[in-house]
C-alpha cells in the first residue's frame, strides 16, 4: 500500500508527488495519457513570480515577454509594456515532463496509460479502481484537471461555472508580442489570443461559452488574411476551464488540487501558478497528516482553509470582473479603450505595483476606481457571490 496516490500527472500533480516523495513517502502517480505532456489546450504562459517561486528550468521556457497588444472590437490598440520581464511562455510538453522527472528523481512511481475509474474511501485506506490494476493508499490526491468525474462521484458537487476553450499551433509571420483580441465577433464575452512561441511559430486560441471551435476557425481566417499566420488550417485542441472553485476540495483521506479543484484565474483562465501554490499547501497538509496518521475530513480541512486564505479575494474579484465583462457590448469595450488612452490610465497602471501578471484584484479595483470608467460601467460595489 502506498502512502499517497496522486491521480493526474500534470505539473500540479507532479509537484505534490515531488514534495511528498522528497520527504520519504511512498507515492504513486496515475496518468491516463500514454506519455507525460501530451497535447494540451493550455497556452503555457506564467508570470515571473511563478518562475522564481518554483524554480522553473530555463530550458522549458520558449520565450520571455514584457509587453502585449490589446485590440478592441473595432481595432483600437492598447500596448502594455514594462522594462522588466513580466511573463514566460513555456514549452508545455517539456515543462510537464520536467516536473514529472523531478518527482521521479525523488522516488515517485509513475503509472502511464492508467485511468482512475473509481475511488472508494474506507476506514483505513483508499481503494482506487484503475484501468490497468487496482491501487491502495493511505490518502489520495485528485489532480486530474477539469472534467474529471471523480470529484462529483465522491460527493464534492459540480463546478458552478465553466467555459470552453480551443487552441491551435500555427506558423506565424514576424509576431513579436502577445496579442489579445476582444469582441462579440471574435470571442463573445471573453477574449482570443495570438501568442508567439518559437521563431516562426505561435499559438492561437480563445475562450467562449458556445462553439469555441467555430469562433477559432473564423479568427484563423482573419489572422491569415492579415498576414499574421501562414495558414488558417490547423488541428484544434479543445478544453474546459472552471471559472469558480469547487464548493469543497477535501474529504476524508482525499484532497483535490489544481484545475480539478477550480484553482484557476477567472480573468484569464490561467491555472499553472495557482495550482502549484495550492499543490504546495496540499503537500504540507498531507505531510502533517501522514506524520500523525490522521486523515479525517477535519484534519484535511486545513488545506482548504489555507488555500482559500491565499486565493479567495483574487478569485472572487476576478470572477466578478469576468461576469461584468461578459455583459459589455462591443461599443462599451471600445469606449473603455478610448477612456484608458485619453486619460492615460494604462500608463498609471503600468507604473503602479498593483499591476501584476498573477494577482489581478488590486489592478481591477484601481481601474474601476477611476470615476469616468465607474460612471461608464455604473459599477459601485462588488457582489458577494
User: Which fold, 2-56+91-159+246-311?
Assistant: FAD/NAD(P)-binding domain (3.50.50)
**Strand runs labelled E in the chain:** 2-7, 27-30, 45-47, 61-65, 67-71, 77-81, 87-90, 109-111, 116-121, 126-130, 134-142, 162-171, 178-181, 192-196, 201-208, 237-242, 250-251, 254-256
The domain segmentation of the chain, as residue ranges, is 2-56+91-159+246-311, 162-241, 318-377
pLDDT digits (tens, 9 = 90+) for 321-380: 999 899 999 998 999 899 888 888 777 666 666 667 788 887 787 777 776 676 666 644
pTM of the entire predicted model: 0.93
Residue 91 grid cell = 514549452
pLDDT at 385: 46
pLDDT at 364: 80
pLDDT digits (tens, 9 = 90+) for 235-260: 999 999 999 999 999 999 999 999 99
Residue 206 has pLDDT above 50, yes or no: yes
pLDDT at 93: 92
pLDDT at 371: 65
Residue 215 has pLDDT above 60, yes or no: yes
Range from 47-61, 172-186, 249-263, 352-366 carrying the lowest mean pLDDT:
352-366
Residue 376 grid cell = 461608464
Residue 382 has pLDDT above 60, yes or no: no
* The CATH number of domain 162-241 is 3.30.9.10: yes
Range from 81-85, 110-114, 345-349 carrying the lowest mean pLDDT:
345-349
Which residues have a Cβ under 8 Å from the Cβ of 378 and sit 6 or more positions away? none
Q: In the chain, pLDDT over 70 holds for what percent of residues? A: 94
pLDDT at 384: 44
Identify whether the C-beta of residue 8 lies closer than 8 Å to the C-beta of residue 144.
yes
Q: What is the mean pLDDT of residues 187-209?
A: 94
Amino acid at each position: 500500500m502506498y502512502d499517497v496516490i496522486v491521480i493526474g500527472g500534470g505539473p500540479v500533480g507532479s509537484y505534490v508527488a515531488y514534495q511528498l516523495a522528497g520527504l520519504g513517502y511512498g507515492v504513486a502517480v496515475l496518468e491516463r495519457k500514454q506519455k507525460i505532456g501530451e497535447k494540451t489546450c493550455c497556452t503555457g504562459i506564467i508570470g515571473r513570480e511563478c518562475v522564481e517561486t518554483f524554480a522553473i528550468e530555463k530550458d522549458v521556457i520558449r520565450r520571455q515577454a514584457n509587453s502585449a497588444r490589446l485590440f478592441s472590437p473595432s481595432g483600437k490598440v492598447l500596448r502594455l509594456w514594462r522594462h522588466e520581464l513580466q511573463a514566460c511562455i513555456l514549452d508545455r510538453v517539456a515543462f510537464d515532463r520536467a516536473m514529472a522527472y523531478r518527482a521521479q528523481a525523488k522516488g515517485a512511481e509513475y503509472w502511464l496509460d492508467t485511468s482512475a475509474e473509481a475511488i472508494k474511501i474506507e476506514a483505513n485506506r483508499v481503494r482506487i479502481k484503475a484501468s490497468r490494476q487496482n491501487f491502495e493508499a493511505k490518502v489520495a490526491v485528485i489532480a486530474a484537471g477539469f472534467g474529471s468525474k471523480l470529484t462529483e462521484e465522491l460527493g464534492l458537487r459540480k463546478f458552478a461555472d465553466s467555459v470552453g476553450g480551443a487552441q491551435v499551433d500555427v506558423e506565424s509571420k514576424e509576431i513579436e508580442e502577445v496579442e489579445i483580441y476582444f469582441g462579440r465577433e471574435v470571442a463573445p464575452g471573453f477574449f482570443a489570443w495570438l501568442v508567439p512561441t518559437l521563431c516562426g511559430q505561435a499559438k492561437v486560441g480563445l475562450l467562449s461559452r458556445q462553439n469555441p471551435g467555430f469562433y477559432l476557425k473564423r479568427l484563423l481566417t482573419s489572422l491569415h488574411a492579415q498576414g499574421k499566420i501562414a495558414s488558417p488550417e490547423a488541428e484544434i485542441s479543445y478544453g474546459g476551464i472552471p471559472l469558480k472553485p469547487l464548493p469543497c476540495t477535501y474529504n476524508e483521506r482525499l484532497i483535490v488540487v489544481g484545475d480539478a479543484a477550480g484553482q484557476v484565474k477567472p480573468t484569464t483562465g490561467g491555472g499553472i501558478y495557482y495550482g502549484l501554490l495550492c499543490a504546495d499547501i496540499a503537500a504540507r497538509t498531507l505531510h502533517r497528516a501522514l506524520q500523525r496518521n490522521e486523515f479525517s475530513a477535519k484534519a484535511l480541512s486545513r488545506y482548504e482553509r489555507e488555500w482559500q486564505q491565499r486565493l479567495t479575494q483574487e478569485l472572487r474579484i476576478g470572477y466578478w470582473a469576468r461576469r461584468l465583462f461578459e455583459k459589455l457590448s462591443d461599443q462599451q469595450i471600445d469606449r473603455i479603450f478610448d477612456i484608458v488612452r485619453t486619460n492615460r490610465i494604462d500608463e498609471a497602471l503600468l507604473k503602479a505595483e498593483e499591476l501584476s501578471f498573477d494577482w489581478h484584484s488590486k489592478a481591477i479595483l484601481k481601474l474601476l476606481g477611476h470615476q469616468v470608467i465607474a460612471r461608464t460601467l455604473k459599477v459601485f460595489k462588488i457582489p458577494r457571490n
